[in-house]
Amino acid sequence: MKSILHRLLLIVGFMPTAALADWQLNLTRGVTSISRNAYDLHMLVLWVCTIIGVVVFSVMFWSIFHHRKSRGAQAAHFHESTTVEVIWTLVPFLILVGLAVPATRALIHIEDAADADMSILITGYQWKWHYKYLEDDVEFFSKLDQDSNRARMLGSGEDPASVENYLLEVDNPVVIPVGKKVRFLTTANDVIHAWWVPALGFKRDAIPGFVNESWALVEEPGIYRGQCAELCGRDHGFMPIVVDARPPEAYAAWVAEFKAKRAAAALKQDPKRAWAREELVTHGAEVYAARCSDCHAADGSAVNGSAPSLAGGEVVLGAMDDLIDLVMFGTGEMHAFGGQLSDIDIAAVITFARNSFGNNAGDDLQPVKVAEFR
């Protein structure tokens, strides 16, 4: 409440410079040739419009002040003039032709994704991104980070301002090398999303069943933030994008580190062995938080407009085979997780769901059983 008052006072106090500091009024110049083209064009059109506006409105206000009845103005009777009409048709037309030239050039530049150094396949999900580096054999999901996610809940009581990069932070940023032409291939798994990082200078829709192409050659190392830019349902506002651009060596190091971590994790996970129920529940809780809680509530209750309750649900506590089938192959509305989760993950999350939220099935599901469904 105090912060609201404070801000209101700032606003009413004609915005002292301190407050203006973190205000961005204009388009970003960004860090790619594409974004700078966009910025330059933006400024060009803005100035053209401003000048035309000033001219037109000046003439209008001049006559409003001088040709008013209260000043004794007498109405003239002219009502056409072919000459001026031709002029004010042609002049705007020529201005537009003048604008179209640089715009065409910029557009051709954007659409030229040939000769890229590397490609990343970006898949939009409700409500997270999946990145797959086609050459480097790296892939992972990326979603809103835990701090923002907690603070953004209705009535969370947390002040968003206290969370760093509120709503613009993810668990796994997408790392790219600077100075390299990176091709982004966008597609989606469920509905249309759009991948947008302003500093890179474009957004491109991620359309289920189709792949789109765009590219960026980032010139400066840094963290660049963006958001999903196509309404994609309930949590459309909560699927940010973080691009972490690093020098090529740092990028290579990151790839190596990523692979090493993955190998280490794989060692610990043997789907063939027998797993204890507690083990499964613990791991299942993590999988649930990471993958299911996008739609189902964290406490398993129903989410309006998204997913049904898992507490005491007929399917959850019903026949195990049906449940495995549902999670692996999905329904019309829920994704098929078979392709996204390992046998262990699926076994764990199902065991977790049957033994949490007040559910008490008291049984467990072994990864080997899941393997039979593949």
Site for ligand HEA in 76-95 (CB under 6 A): 92, 95
Q: Is residue 257 packed enough to be buried (19+ CB in 10 Å), middle (13-18) or exposed (0-12)?
A: exposed
- The smaller minimum CB distance to ligand HEA, of residues 95 and 361, is found at 95
- Among 289, 294, 290, 291, which residue's Cα sits nearest to residue 305? 294
Q: Give the C-alpha separation, 47 to 53, whole Å.
A: 9
Q: What distances in angstroms separate CA 313 from CA 73, 230, 322, 335, 361, one per listed residue? A: 80, 33, 13, 18, 11
Asked if 282 touches other proteins (CB under 8 A), the answer is no
Interface residues for ligand HEC in 350-369 (CB under 6 A)? 353
Q: Check binding of 85 to other proteins (CB under 8 A).
A: yes
Binding to ligand HEC by residue 294, rule CB under 6 A? Answer: yes
Nearer to other proteins, 228 or 349 (CB): 228
Check: CB of residue 292 under 8 Å from CB of residue 349: yes
Shortest separation between residue 50's beta carbon and ligand CUA, angstroms:
33
Confirm or reject binding of residue 138 to other proteins (CB under 8 A).
no
User: How big is the chain by its Cα radius of gyration, in Å?
Assistant: 28
Q: Which is nearer to ligand CUA, 212 or 366 (CB)?
A: 212
Q: Which of residues 50-79 bind ligand HEA (CB under 6 A)?
A: 52, 56
Question: Is the peptide bond prior to 254 cis by the omega test (within 30 degrees of 0)?
Answer: no
Q: How many beta carbons lie within 10 A of that of residue 236, not counting itself?
A: 17
- Pick the binder of other proteins from 29, 180, 234, 277 (CB under 8 A): 234
Q: How far is the CB of 123 from ligand CUA (least distance, A)?
A: 11
Judged by CB under 6 A, does residue 124 bind ligand CUA? yes
158 counts as binding other proteins under rule CB under 8 A: yes
Nearer to ligand HEA, 166 or 196 (CB): 196
Q: Is the peptide bond before 129 cis (omega within 30 degrees of 0)?
A: no
Shortest Å distance, C-beta 32 to ligand CUA: 22
How far is it, in rounded angstroms, from Cα 206 to Cα 220? Answer: 26
Q: How far is C-alpha 167 from the chain's CA centre?
A: 10
d(CA 330, CA 327): 5
Binding of residue 237 to other proteins (CB under 8 A): yes
Identify residues 250-279 at the interface with other proteins (CB under 8 A).
Answer: none
* 174-177/222-228 β-pairing: unpaired
- Choose the contact partner of 151 out of ligand HEC, ligand CUA, other proteins, none; CB within 5 to 8 A by kind: other proteins
Structure tokens at 285: 């809780």
Among 204, 296, 297, 355, binds ligand HEC (CB under 6 A): 296
Q: Take residue 175 and report the two structure tokens written for it.
A: 């790392």
304 DSSP 8-state letter: T
Does residue number 51 form part of the binding site for other proteins (CB under 8 A)?
A: no
* SS3 label, residue 218: coil
Residues 232-271: x where in contact with ligand HEC by CB under 6 A, - otherwise, as a string: ----------------------------------------
Residues that bind ligand HEC (CB under 6 A): 126, 291-292, 294-296, 307-308, 310, 313-316, 323, 326-327, 331-335, 337, 349, 353
